[in-house]
């Protein structure tokens, strides 16, 4: 529902830019957690996609921003029991990730220059998920899992503020129309509400557990020799405010009209 409100607001605002054109972006994102979240998450790597309505005077733009980041990954081989009772070794992969869907506002501090500095604001919703995927080790490409399961999920409203630089690549590719292609470097600080999340790749806790660790998760596997079902620990559950600095390198492209 909260994400739907963001989408509706953006749908209303974007048509207000009657004299505007579309700009698309895609690239790499690096997430650096802060606050208590930094105790439980080392870093995250992901991809980002977006679309913006850019005013023809090139000062203001409104758009939507989608970002998917993996911050924890654990792989192991475990005994897995199928529905028909047969047992086999399977590759087990636990993936911790978060997805942000945010409306964005951007203001260019300069326009018509080779390098355009800007400031911006984003607001939306973040989903944090932990997924279990089981693969046949004989399937070398792991193209299709034998089984998938959602182990844990939570979410929170988030907002972000920051800025960046956009370089006009048409200064290099002379045959392209001006402003058609750009290289974008940005840094945004993102903050949200209290959220629970799991991390299979968290820093080792040889010292007493941190105060924000609220539990752990296990999955059931079976020993083929003893037929005894055992619990396989897949990660700890933490609770903290959502706080991250987001660094991105993206390529932007506008429709040539």
Q: What is the pTM of this model?
A: 0.77
Query: Residue-wise pLDDT tens for the chain (257 aa)?
Result: 555 555 555 554 555 555 667 889 999 999 999 998 988 888 999 999 999 888 767 688 999 999 999 998 877 776 666 666 666 677 778 889 999 999 999 999 887 678 889 999 999 999 999 887 777 666 666 666 566 778 889 999 999 999 999 998 877 776 776 667 889 999 999 999 999 998 866 555 444 555 566 556 555 554 444 444 445 566 678 899 999 999 999 999 876 55
**CA distance linking residue 185 with residue 248, whole number of Å:** 6
DSSP letter at 12 equals: H
**CA distance linking residue 13 with residue 122, whole number of Å:** 14
Token pair in block for residue 250: 């993206």
Question: Could you identify the residue written with the tokens 């977006």?
Answer: 50
Three-state DSSP at 5 gives helix
pLDDT at 227: 47
**CA distance linking residue 131 with residue 16, whole number of Å:** 40
**CA distance linking residue 220 with residue 228, whole number of Å:** 10
Three-state DSSP at 110 gives coil
CA angle 73, 133, 85 (to 5 degrees): 140
Closest CA to 252 of 58, 102, 70, 71: 58
Residue 247 near residue 30, CB atoms below 8 Å: yes
Instruction: Convert 188-213 to b/e letters by CB count within 10 Å (16 or more is b).
Output: bebbbeebbbbbbbbeeeeeeebebb
CA 119 from chain centre, in angstroms, equals 21
Set out the domains of the chain in order of their start, with CATH numbers. 2-254 (2.40.160.20)
């Amino acid at each position: 529902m909260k994400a739907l409100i963001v989408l509706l607001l953006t749908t209303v605002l974007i048509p207000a830019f009657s004299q505007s054109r579309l700009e698309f972006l895609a690239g790499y994102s690096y997430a650096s957690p802060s606050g208590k979240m930094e105790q439980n998450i080392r870093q995250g790597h992901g991809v980002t996609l977006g679309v913006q309505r850019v005013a023809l005077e090139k000062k203001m733009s409104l758009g939507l921003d989608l970002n998917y980041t993996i911050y924890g990954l654990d792989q192991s081989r475990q005994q897995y029991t199928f529905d028909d009772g047969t047992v086999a070794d399977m590759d087990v992969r636990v993936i911790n990730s978060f997805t942000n869907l945010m409306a964005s506002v951007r203001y260019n501090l300069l326009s018509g220059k080779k390098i355009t500095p800007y400031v911006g604001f984003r607001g939306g919703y973040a989903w944090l998920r932990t997924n279990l995927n089981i693969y046949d080790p004989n399937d070398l490409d792991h193209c299709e899992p034998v089984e998938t399961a959602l182990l844990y999920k939570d979410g929170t409203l988030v907002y972000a503020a920051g800025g960046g630089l956009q370089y006009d690549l048409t200064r290099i590719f002379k045959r392209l129309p001006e402003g058609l292609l750009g290289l974008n470097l940005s840094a945004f600080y993102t903050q949200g509400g209290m959220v629970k999340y799991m991390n299979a790749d968290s820093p080792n806790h040889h010292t007493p557990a941190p105060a924000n660790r609220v539990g752990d998760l296990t999955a059931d596997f079976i020993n083929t020799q003893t037929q005894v079902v055992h619990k396989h620990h897949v990660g700890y559950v933490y609770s903290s405010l959502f706080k991250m600095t987001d660094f991105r390198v993206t390529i932007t492209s506008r429709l040539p009209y």
